[in-house]
Amino acid sequence: MIALLRAVSGLIVWAVAFSALYGLQGLVCAAGWQATGLGPLSLGRAMLVLLWLGFLALLAWMSWRFAHGRRDFLGLLAIGLALVGLVATAYTGAPVLAGSICL
């Protein structure tokens, strides 16, 4: 059972990352943090970028960790899906770098 959970954990982390980024964006817009300056970025964008980078780091670590683990079917599936989660998180979270936060 643990091996199956490990196998799908990359996609679970991607889903959590997507939901957390979307939820934080709503909070940033509702609280008005996009107007507060923090160096060259707004406070809202800095929070979104840091959260996105944190999830990317977690998924990169998971991919590396799973690559040095089991080599049966579920172990290989865990490696593949962790990499898929990493790429999906990078792609779906990239708009926090340059897209408008609030319309």
- pLDDT tens digits for range 71-97: 899 999 999 999 999 999 999 999 999
Report yes or no on 103 lying in a domain.
no
pTM beyond cutoff 0.95: no
Element (H, E) at 38: strand 37-38
Question: What band does 37 get if pLDDT is binned at 50, 70 and 90?
Answer: confident
What is the domain range of residue 27? 2-98
Q: What are phi and psi of 58, to 5 degrees?
A: -60, -45
Q: What is the pLDDT of residues 42-75, one digit of tens each?
A: 999 999 999 999 999 999 999 999 999 888 999 9
Query: How many domains, the chain?
Result: 1
Residue 5: CA count within 13 A, CB half-sphere: 2
Structure token pair of residue 72: 């049966």
Domain assignment present for 27: yes
Q: What angle do CA 83, 96, 85 make, to 5 degrees?
A: 15
Tell me, what's the pLDDT at 36? Answer: 87
